[in-house]
Chains A and B, each alone.
Chain A
Amino acid sequence: MAECDRCGARAVYNRRYCGQRLCRDLFFAYIEARVRRAVKTQKIFERGEKVGVALSGGKDSSALLYLLSQLSMGLELHPIAIDEGIAGYRPHGLEAARALCSQLGLELHTVSFRERLGHTLDEMVKWERGYAGCTYCGVFRRRLLNDAGRELGLSKIATGHNLDDEAQAVMMNYTRGDIERLLRLGTPGDLGLLPRVKPLQEVPEKEVAIYALLRELPVSLEECPYARDAFRLGIRDFLNGLELANPGIKYSILRGYKRLLPHLATYPRTAVKRCGACGEPTPNPLCKACELLGALPE
Protein backbone atom coordinates (compact mmCIF):
# COMPACT_ATOMS: atom_id res chain seq x y z
CA MET A 1 0.00 0.00 0.00
CA ALA A 2 1.33 3.43 -0.95
CA GLU A 3 1.51 5.58 2.17
CA CYS A 4 1.04 9.26 2.80
CA ASP A 5 4.49 10.84 3.08
CA ARG A 6 3.35 12.98 5.98
CA CYS A 7 1.26 10.70 8.20
CA GLY A 8 1.66 7.13 6.92
CA ALA A 9 -2.05 6.65 6.20
CA ARG A 10 -3.18 5.20 2.86
CA ALA A 11 -2.21 7.57 0.03
CA VAL A 12 -4.88 8.61 -2.45
CA TYR A 13 -2.73 10.80 -4.69
CA ASN A 14 0.87 11.17 -5.77
CA ARG A 15 1.97 14.70 -6.63
CA ARG A 16 4.60 13.40 -9.04
CA TYR A 17 5.89 16.91 -9.85
CA CYS A 18 7.17 17.22 -6.27
CA GLY A 19 7.34 13.58 -5.21
CA GLN A 20 4.74 13.77 -2.45
CA ARG A 21 2.07 11.18 -1.72
CA LEU A 22 -0.92 12.37 0.28
CA CYS A 23 -3.76 10.70 2.16
CA ARG A 24 -7.34 11.87 1.75
CA ASP A 25 -7.32 14.39 4.61
CA LEU A 26 -3.97 15.91 3.72
CA PHE A 27 -4.94 16.05 0.04
CA PHE A 28 -8.00 18.12 1.04
CA ALA A 29 -5.81 20.33 3.20
CA TYR A 30 -3.30 20.81 0.38
CA ILE A 31 -5.93 21.76 -2.25
CA GLU A 32 -7.76 24.10 0.12
CA ALA A 33 -4.51 25.80 1.19
CA ARG A 34 -3.46 26.17 -2.44
CA VAL A 35 -6.71 27.98 -3.33
CA ARG A 36 -6.60 30.16 -0.19
CA ARG A 37 -3.03 31.13 -1.03
CA ALA A 38 -3.93 31.98 -4.64
CA VAL A 39 -6.87 34.10 -3.46
CA LYS A 40 -4.65 35.91 -0.96
CA THR A 41 -1.45 36.43 -2.93
CA GLN A 42 -3.19 37.37 -6.19
CA LYS A 43 -5.76 39.47 -4.31
CA ILE A 44 -8.52 37.75 -6.27
CA PHE A 45 -11.40 38.86 -4.01
CA GLU A 46 -12.21 41.65 -1.59
CA ARG A 47 -13.85 40.66 1.69
CA GLY A 48 -17.65 40.47 1.32
CA GLU A 49 -17.51 40.85 -2.46
CA LYS A 50 -20.49 39.89 -4.62
CA VAL A 51 -19.05 37.25 -6.93
CA GLY A 52 -20.56 35.25 -9.79
CA VAL A 53 -19.42 31.65 -10.23
CA ALA A 54 -19.83 30.12 -13.68
CA LEU A 55 -21.24 26.69 -12.82
CA SER A 56 -21.66 23.95 -15.42
CA GLY A 57 -22.10 21.02 -13.06
CA GLY A 58 -18.75 19.62 -14.22
CA LYS A 59 -15.90 18.82 -11.84
CA ASP A 60 -13.99 22.09 -12.21
CA SER A 61 -16.73 24.62 -11.62
CA SER A 62 -18.35 22.44 -8.93
CA ALA A 63 -15.08 22.09 -7.02
CA LEU A 64 -14.54 25.84 -7.43
CA LEU A 65 -17.95 26.73 -6.00
CA TYR A 66 -17.46 24.35 -3.07
CA LEU A 67 -13.97 25.70 -2.34
CA LEU A 68 -15.12 29.33 -2.53
CA SER A 69 -18.02 28.54 -0.20
CA GLN A 70 -15.46 27.34 2.37
CA LEU A 71 -13.39 30.55 2.31
CA SER A 72 -13.98 32.69 5.34
CA MET A 73 -14.13 35.95 3.42
CA GLY A 74 -17.87 36.58 3.61
CA LEU A 75 -18.17 36.33 -0.17
CA GLU A 76 -21.70 36.63 -1.58
CA LEU A 77 -21.67 33.81 -4.13
CA HIS A 78 -24.01 33.77 -7.12
CA PRO A 79 -23.70 30.57 -9.15
CA ILE A 80 -24.72 31.08 -12.78
CA ALA A 81 -25.43 28.15 -15.10
CA ILE A 82 -25.69 28.62 -18.83
CA ASP A 83 -28.11 26.22 -20.50
CA GLU A 84 -26.80 26.08 -24.07
CA GLY A 85 -29.46 23.57 -25.07
CA ILE A 86 -27.41 20.43 -25.70
CA ALA A 87 -29.78 17.46 -25.54
CA GLY A 88 -28.51 14.44 -23.64
CA TYR A 89 -25.63 16.38 -22.07
CA ARG A 90 -26.57 19.69 -20.48
CA PRO A 91 -29.54 18.38 -18.44
CA HIS A 92 -27.13 16.15 -16.46
CA GLY A 93 -24.82 19.06 -15.72
CA LEU A 94 -27.73 21.28 -14.68
CA GLU A 95 -29.04 18.57 -12.39
CA ALA A 96 -25.62 18.30 -10.71
CA ALA A 97 -25.40 22.11 -10.45
CA ARG A 98 -28.82 22.31 -8.79
CA ALA A 99 -27.90 19.53 -6.36
CA LEU A 100 -24.66 21.25 -5.35
CA CYS A 101 -26.34 24.65 -4.91
CA SER A 102 -29.01 23.01 -2.80
CA GLN A 103 -26.31 21.38 -0.61
CA LEU A 104 -24.54 24.71 -0.18
CA GLY A 105 -27.73 26.73 0.35
CA LEU A 106 -27.09 28.92 -2.70
CA GLU A 107 -29.54 30.10 -5.34
CA LEU A 108 -28.67 28.95 -8.86
CA HIS A 109 -29.27 31.48 -11.64
CA THR A 110 -29.90 29.69 -14.93
CA VAL A 111 -29.65 31.55 -18.24
CA SER A 112 -30.62 29.74 -21.42
CA PHE A 113 -29.59 30.22 -25.04
CA ARG A 114 -33.19 29.60 -26.10
CA GLU A 115 -34.61 32.34 -23.88
CA ARG A 116 -31.89 34.93 -24.53
CA LEU A 117 -30.95 34.17 -28.13
CA GLY A 118 -34.00 32.37 -29.47
CA HIS A 119 -32.11 29.21 -30.39
CA THR A 120 -30.44 26.28 -28.67
CA LEU A 121 -26.86 25.31 -29.49
CA ASP A 122 -28.21 22.08 -31.01
CA GLU A 123 -30.15 24.25 -33.49
CA MET A 124 -27.26 26.65 -34.17
CA VAL A 125 -24.83 23.91 -35.24
CA LYS A 126 -27.29 22.86 -37.92
CA TRP A 127 -27.26 26.26 -39.66
CA GLU A 128 -25.50 26.28 -43.00
CA ARG A 129 -23.00 28.89 -41.79
CA GLY A 130 -20.89 25.95 -40.71
CA TYR A 131 -19.35 27.20 -37.44
CA ALA A 132 -18.33 24.52 -34.95
CA GLY A 133 -20.37 24.17 -31.76
CA CYS A 134 -17.47 25.51 -29.68
CA THR A 135 -17.49 28.79 -31.66
CA TYR A 136 -21.15 29.56 -30.90
CA CYS A 137 -20.87 28.23 -27.38
CA GLY A 138 -17.72 30.16 -26.42
CA VAL A 139 -18.98 33.47 -27.76
CA PHE A 140 -22.56 33.29 -26.47
CA ARG A 141 -21.71 31.74 -23.13
CA ARG A 142 -19.23 34.56 -22.50
CA ARG A 143 -21.87 37.12 -23.49
CA LEU A 144 -24.66 35.63 -21.38
CA LEU A 145 -22.41 35.26 -18.34
CA ASN A 146 -21.44 38.89 -18.70
CA ASP A 147 -25.08 39.97 -19.08
CA ALA A 148 -26.18 37.90 -16.08
CA GLY A 149 -23.31 39.25 -14.00
CA ARG A 150 -24.30 42.83 -14.75
CA GLU A 151 -27.99 42.15 -14.07
CA LEU A 152 -27.09 40.67 -10.69
CA GLY A 153 -24.80 43.59 -9.87
CA LEU A 154 -21.71 41.38 -9.54
CA SER A 155 -18.19 42.75 -9.47
CA LYS A 156 -16.50 39.77 -11.12
CA ILE A 157 -17.06 36.23 -12.31
CA ALA A 158 -14.99 33.27 -11.13
CA THR A 159 -14.47 30.41 -13.57
CA GLY A 160 -13.18 26.88 -12.98
CA HIS A 161 -10.20 27.13 -15.36
CA ASN A 162 -7.47 24.84 -14.05
CA LEU A 163 -3.73 24.52 -14.71
CA ASP A 164 -4.29 22.30 -17.75
CA ASP A 165 -6.69 24.83 -19.33
CA GLU A 166 -4.20 27.63 -18.78
CA ALA A 167 -1.17 25.71 -20.07
CA GLN A 168 -3.20 24.71 -23.13
CA ALA A 169 -4.29 28.30 -23.78
CA VAL A 170 -0.71 29.57 -23.49
CA MET A 171 0.57 26.92 -25.90
CA MET A 172 -2.31 27.38 -28.35
CA ASN A 173 -1.74 31.12 -28.62
CA TYR A 174 2.01 30.75 -28.69
CA THR A 175 2.05 28.09 -31.40
CA ARG A 176 -0.42 30.12 -33.48
CA GLY A 177 1.82 33.16 -33.06
CA ASP A 178 -1.16 35.10 -31.65
CA ILE A 179 0.74 37.35 -29.25
CA GLU A 180 -2.17 39.73 -28.68
CA ARG A 181 -4.41 36.91 -27.52
CA LEU A 182 -1.53 35.53 -25.46
CA LEU A 183 -1.30 38.92 -23.77
CA ARG A 184 -5.07 39.16 -23.19
CA LEU A 185 -5.06 35.74 -21.50
CA GLY A 186 -3.11 37.26 -18.63
CA THR A 187 -5.11 40.47 -18.40
CA PRO A 188 -8.74 39.36 -18.05
CA GLY A 189 -11.40 42.03 -18.26
CA ASP A 190 -9.28 44.40 -20.29
CA LEU A 191 -11.78 44.40 -23.14
CA GLY A 192 -14.35 46.07 -20.91
CA LEU A 193 -16.02 42.82 -19.89
CA LEU A 194 -16.85 41.97 -16.30
CA PRO A 195 -13.49 40.80 -14.86
CA ARG A 196 -12.95 37.04 -14.79
CA VAL A 197 -10.90 35.39 -12.07
CA LYS A 198 -9.53 31.85 -12.02
CA PRO A 199 -8.79 30.67 -8.47
CA LEU A 200 -7.98 27.10 -9.68
CA GLN A 201 -5.47 28.32 -12.24
CA GLU A 202 -2.59 26.60 -10.44
CA VAL A 203 -4.36 23.33 -9.66
CA PRO A 204 -3.86 20.51 -12.20
CA GLU A 205 -7.06 19.18 -13.78
CA LYS A 206 -6.48 15.71 -12.33
CA GLU A 207 -6.23 17.14 -8.80
CA VAL A 208 -9.45 19.13 -9.24
CA ALA A 209 -11.22 15.95 -10.37
CA ILE A 210 -9.88 13.88 -7.49
CA TYR A 211 -10.89 16.59 -5.04
CA ALA A 212 -14.46 16.62 -6.43
CA LEU A 213 -14.64 12.81 -6.37
CA LEU A 214 -13.25 12.48 -2.82
CA ARG A 215 -15.58 15.22 -1.56
CA GLU A 216 -18.41 13.32 -3.29
CA LEU A 217 -19.65 16.53 -4.88
CA PRO A 218 -22.55 16.01 -7.27
CA VAL A 219 -20.77 16.41 -10.61
CA SER A 220 -21.27 15.30 -14.16
CA LEU A 221 -18.12 13.79 -15.71
CA GLU A 222 -19.68 13.56 -19.16
CA GLU A 223 -17.87 15.07 -22.10
CA CYS A 224 -19.61 17.64 -24.26
CA PRO A 225 -20.61 16.08 -27.61
CA TYR A 226 -19.33 19.21 -29.40
CA ALA A 227 -15.86 19.06 -27.78
CA ARG A 228 -14.05 18.51 -31.06
CA ASP A 229 -11.64 21.43 -31.25
CA ALA A 230 -8.92 19.34 -32.89
CA PHE A 231 -6.20 21.92 -32.28
CA ARG A 232 -6.92 22.18 -28.55
CA LEU A 233 -7.25 18.40 -28.21
CA GLY A 234 -3.89 18.01 -29.97
CA ILE A 235 -2.24 20.49 -27.59
CA ARG A 236 -3.92 18.79 -24.61
CA ASP A 237 -2.63 15.35 -25.60
CA PHE A 238 0.83 16.77 -26.38
CA LEU A 239 1.03 18.41 -22.94
CA ASN A 240 -0.19 15.30 -21.14
CA GLY A 241 2.46 13.28 -22.97
CA LEU A 242 5.10 15.80 -21.87
CA GLU A 243 3.76 15.81 -18.30
CA LEU A 244 3.96 12.01 -18.12
CA ALA A 245 7.67 12.06 -18.94
CA ASN A 246 8.44 15.40 -17.24
CA PRO A 247 6.18 15.90 -14.21
CA GLY A 248 5.69 19.62 -13.56
CA ILE A 249 5.92 20.76 -17.18
CA LYS A 250 2.44 22.37 -17.06
CA TYR A 251 3.53 24.45 -14.06
CA SER A 252 6.67 25.45 -15.94
CA ILE A 253 4.59 26.65 -18.90
CA LEU A 254 2.32 28.77 -16.69
CA ARG A 255 5.18 30.18 -14.62
CA GLY A 256 7.22 30.97 -17.72
CA TYR A 257 4.20 32.74 -19.20
CA LYS A 258 3.71 34.81 -16.04
CA ARG A 259 7.38 35.82 -16.16
CA LEU A 260 7.00 36.78 -19.81
CA LEU A 261 3.79 38.78 -19.33
CA PRO A 262 5.34 42.03 -17.98
CA HIS A 263 7.66 42.08 -20.99
CA LEU A 264 4.66 41.97 -23.34
CA ALA A 265 3.21 45.16 -21.87
CA THR A 266 4.53 47.28 -24.73
CA TYR A 267 3.22 44.94 -27.44
CA PRO A 268 0.84 46.96 -29.66
CA ARG A 269 -2.81 46.05 -29.08
CA THR A 270 -5.79 46.53 -31.36
CA ALA A 271 -7.83 49.50 -30.10
CA VAL A 272 -11.09 48.55 -28.39
CA LYS A 273 -14.18 50.07 -30.02
CA ARG A 274 -17.89 49.65 -29.35
CA CYS A 275 -19.94 47.15 -31.31
CA GLY A 276 -22.07 49.00 -33.89
CA ALA A 277 -25.09 46.85 -33.03
CA CYS A 278 -25.04 46.27 -29.25
CA GLY A 279 -22.41 48.66 -27.86
CA GLU A 280 -20.34 45.94 -26.22
CA PRO A 281 -16.56 46.36 -26.39
CA THR A 282 -14.87 44.77 -29.39
CA PRO A 283 -11.82 45.40 -31.57
CA ASN A 284 -14.07 45.00 -34.67
CA PRO A 285 -17.00 47.02 -36.07
CA LEU A 286 -19.36 44.23 -34.89
CA CYS A 287 -18.72 42.05 -31.86
CA LYS A 288 -18.51 38.32 -32.48
CA ALA A 289 -21.87 37.68 -30.76
CA CYS A 290 -23.68 40.13 -33.07
CA GLU A 291 -21.80 38.80 -36.07
CA LEU A 292 -22.95 35.26 -35.23
CA LEU A 293 -26.48 36.41 -34.33
CA GLY A 294 -26.70 38.19 -37.68
CA ALA A 295 -25.89 34.91 -39.32
CA LEU A 296 -28.68 33.08 -37.53
CA PRO A 297 -32.05 32.75 -39.19
CA GLU A 298 -34.97 34.70 -37.69
Chain B
Amino acid sequence: MKVAIETDKEQELEVEDGTTIEALLARLGINRETVAVSLNGALCTEEEPLRPGDRLRVIKVVTGG
Protein backbone atom coordinates (compact mmCIF):
# COMPACT_ATOMS: atom_id res chain seq x y z
CA MET B 1 0.00 0.00 0.00
CA LYS B 2 1.06 3.60 -0.47
CA VAL B 3 1.30 6.30 2.18
CA ALA B 4 2.37 9.93 1.89
CA ILE B 5 5.06 11.10 4.28
CA GLU B 6 6.31 14.61 4.87
CA THR B 7 9.67 15.05 6.56
CA ASP B 8 11.91 17.80 5.23
CA LYS B 9 10.53 16.72 1.86
CA GLU B 10 7.28 15.14 0.72
CA GLN B 11 7.31 11.63 -0.70
CA GLU B 12 5.04 8.67 -1.33
CA LEU B 13 6.26 5.34 0.01
CA GLU B 14 5.25 1.76 -0.53
CA VAL B 15 4.86 -0.04 2.81
CA GLU B 16 3.47 -3.42 3.85
CA ASP B 17 -0.04 -3.61 5.30
CA GLY B 18 -0.02 -3.16 9.07
CA THR B 19 3.29 -1.26 9.14
CA THR B 20 3.37 1.00 12.18
CA ILE B 21 4.64 4.57 12.19
CA GLU B 22 7.41 3.39 14.50
CA ALA B 23 8.58 0.79 11.96
CA LEU B 24 8.45 3.31 9.13
CA LEU B 25 10.52 5.83 11.12
CA ALA B 26 13.09 3.12 11.85
CA ARG B 27 13.21 2.23 8.13
CA LEU B 28 13.88 5.89 7.33
CA GLY B 29 16.59 6.12 10.01
CA ILE B 30 14.60 8.61 12.09
CA ASN B 31 14.90 8.28 15.89
CA ARG B 32 11.35 8.52 17.29
CA GLU B 33 12.74 10.35 20.32
CA THR B 34 13.52 13.33 18.09
CA VAL B 35 10.18 13.78 16.31
CA ALA B 36 6.46 14.19 16.82
CA VAL B 37 4.17 12.54 14.29
CA SER B 38 0.88 13.72 12.91
CA LEU B 39 -1.36 11.21 11.08
CA ASN B 40 -3.95 12.72 8.74
CA GLY B 41 -3.64 16.03 10.60
CA ALA B 42 -3.75 14.78 14.22
CA LEU B 43 -0.81 14.11 16.57
CA CYS B 44 -0.63 10.46 17.55
CA THR B 45 1.59 7.80 19.11
CA GLU B 46 4.12 5.98 16.98
CA GLU B 47 2.36 2.64 17.56
CA GLU B 48 -0.44 3.54 15.14
CA PRO B 49 -0.64 1.20 12.12
CA LEU B 50 -0.69 2.87 8.73
CA ARG B 51 -3.56 2.45 6.29
CA PRO B 52 -3.68 2.95 2.52
CA GLY B 53 -3.67 6.64 1.61
CA ASP B 54 -2.59 7.85 5.06
CA ARG B 55 -0.74 11.14 5.24
CA LEU B 56 2.03 11.20 7.82
CA ARG B 57 3.84 14.34 8.87
CA VAL B 58 7.09 13.98 10.81
CA ILE B 59 7.85 17.08 12.84
CA LYS B 60 11.41 17.51 14.08
CA VAL B 61 11.16 18.54 17.71
CA VAL B 62 14.73 18.14 18.92
CA THR B 63 16.83 21.12 18.04
CA GLY B 64 20.52 21.86 18.02
CA GLY B 65 22.37 24.59 19.84
- A and B found bound together: yes
Point out the residues of chain A lying under 8 angstroms from B47, CB to CB: 2, 14
Given contacts A2-B48, A240-B31, contact A12 B43 (CB under 8 A): yes
Chain A to chain B: the 10 pairs with minimum beta-carbon distance, closest first = A227-B64, A209-B61, A14-B45, A2-B45, A227-B65, A240-B33, A2-B47, A12-B43, A243-B33, A11-B45
Point out the residues of chain A lying under 8 angstroms from B2, CB to CB: none
Contact of A224 among B34, B36, B64 (CB under 8 A): B64
The reply on A210 being an interface residue by CB < 8 A is yes
Taking residues whose C-beta sits less than 8 angstroms from the other chain, chain A's interface range is 20 to 34
Return 16 A-B CB contacts under 8 Å, by A number.
A2-B44, A11-B45, A12-B42, A13-B43, A205-B61, A206-B36, A209-B36, A213-B43, A221-B61, A221-B63, A224-B63, A227-B63, A227-B65, A236-B62, A240-B62, A244-B32
The reply on A223 being an interface residue by CB < 8 A is yes
Interface size on B, residues (CB 8 A): 20
Q: Do residues B62 and A229 form an inter-chain contact, with CB atoms below 8 A?
A: no
B49 smallest CB distance to A (angstroms): 9
The reply on B1 being an interface residue by CB < 8 A is no
The reply on A10 being an interface residue by CB < 8 A is yes
Interface of B with A (CB < 8 Å)? 31-36, 42-48, 59-65
- For chain A residues 166-214, which have a beta carbon within 8 Å of chain B? 205-206, 209-210, 213-214
Q: Do residues B64 and A233 form an inter-chain contact, with CB atoms below 8 A?
A: yes
Point out the residues of chain B lying under 8 angstroms from A224, CB to CB: 63-65
Contact of B45 among A13, A233, A236 (CB under 8 A): A13
Point out the residues of chain A lying under 8 angstroms from B32, CB to CB: 244
